[in-house]
Amino acid sequence: MSKHNHQEFVDWLEHEIWKKRVTYSEVARRGGISHSRISQVLGGETPGWEFVAAVARALEQPLDLVAKKAGLWEGGPDPVQIEKGEYVNLFLGLPEHQRDLVLVQMRAWDLYGRRREQRRDR
């Protein structure tokens, strides 16, 4: 990523954070990344897919949009679909007893997320 493109991404990211009226710490918390990682990217380090996914999640933006803004994706197959396919392949490669454990954990995360949303909407 060139310095010019990186600065465009940083400008876009700062604008989105401003529009959402959240702090960098809140973006870090919502995205599951460290505040220092955000500072590193804002300071010039190249964002990777983990960072892009965290920002997309935190700012409630489509993954493909954030990936394009970060210069990680130029088009082609939808990265969300590719990621889903990878999850399915990994899941199907697990022994049955491990699949059961993964499903129990995923259901717990889903329930936790829905309850959290309900509390936030009150």
pLDDT tens digits along 20-64: 999 999 999 998 999 999 999 999 999 988 899 889 889 998 888
Pair (23, 60) in one structural domain: yes
User: In which domain, by residue range, is 34 found?
Assistant: 3-69
Residues 56, 30: contact at Cβ < 8 Å?
no
Pair (28, 61) in one structural domain: yes
Indicate whether 3 pLDDT > 70: no
pLDDT for the residue numbered 99: 86
Please identify, among 44, 69, 94, the residue that sits at the C-terminal boundary of a domain. 69
Pair (60, 88) in one structural domain: no
C-alpha angle 31-36-38 in degrees, rounded to nearest 5: 50
Pair (9, 55) in one structural domain: yes
Which pTM was predicted? 0.61
Pair (7, 52) in one structural domain: yes
Q: How many structural domains compose the chain?
A: 2
